[in-house]
Amino acid sequence: MGEQRRLTLAVTGAGGTRMARYVLSALVRDERVGHVDLLVSEAGRTLIAHEFGGSQADDPVERLLGERHDKVAAYDPEDLTAPMVSGSYPTWGMVVVPCALGVVGRIAQGQANTLLERAADVCLKERRELVLCDARRPSTSSTCATWRRSPRPAPSCTR
């Protein structure tokens, strides 16, 4: 087996936390992934608590996986000193699932007010993989306009 990768998984409150649960479970099982940094926005924490029970203050790893896992580290969404905000932090890239449209817009505009947005900005700056997953289908014309302004437009919104 080759070198294990470090990956950042971010969850927003876009209404697809079951997808986030599936992706996190798959990353934990994948032998190619050595570590997952989990970033969950405040809205994401609220939605996880609503969809899976518990409170917003609960550990998101336990809520999504049903237990703690040594392969996953969760970070406070407002902690701008977390390691993934540095370009020298060794990570393969970042997946945001689900990605709220407001987050897409802020990333496209280069705003970095939260840990999630800053980590995405660093991925773009360092030319690392950044995957933004929209949970909503079908897309409206305004949604597609926002995606077209994103760093890498969604295939369903390109002309």
pLDDT at 140: 63
> Count of CB atoms within 10 A of residue 33's CB?
18
Averaged pLDDT score across all residues of the chain? 84
- The reply to whether the predicted model has a pTM over 0.75 is yes
pLDDT at 65: 87
Going residue by residue through the chain, which has 159 residues, state the pLDDT in tens, using 9 for 90 and above: 568 899 999 998 877 788 899 999 999 999 999 999 999 988 888 888 888 888 887 888 888 888 889 999 999 888 999 999 999 999 999 999 988 888 888 888 888 899 999 999 999 999 999 998 876 655 666 666 665 666 654 444 444
CATH assignment at residue 140:
3.40.50.1950
Count: domains in the chain: 1
What digits encode the pLDDT tens for the residues 69-107? 999 999 988 899 999 999 999 999 999 998 888 888 888
In the chain, % of residues over pLDDT 90: 43
| Longest Cα–Cα distance in the chain | 45
DSSP string computed for the chain: --PPEEEEEEE-SSS-HHHHHHHHHHHHH-TTEEEEEEEE-HHHHHHHHHHHSS-TTS-HHHHHHSS--TTEEEE-TT-TTSGGGSTTS---EEEESS--HHHHHHHHTT---SHHHHHHHHHHHTT-EEEE----SSPPHHHHHHHHHSSS--GGG--
List the domain range (segments joined by +) for residue 98.
Answer: 5-157
Residue 48 CA to chain centroid, in angstroms? 14
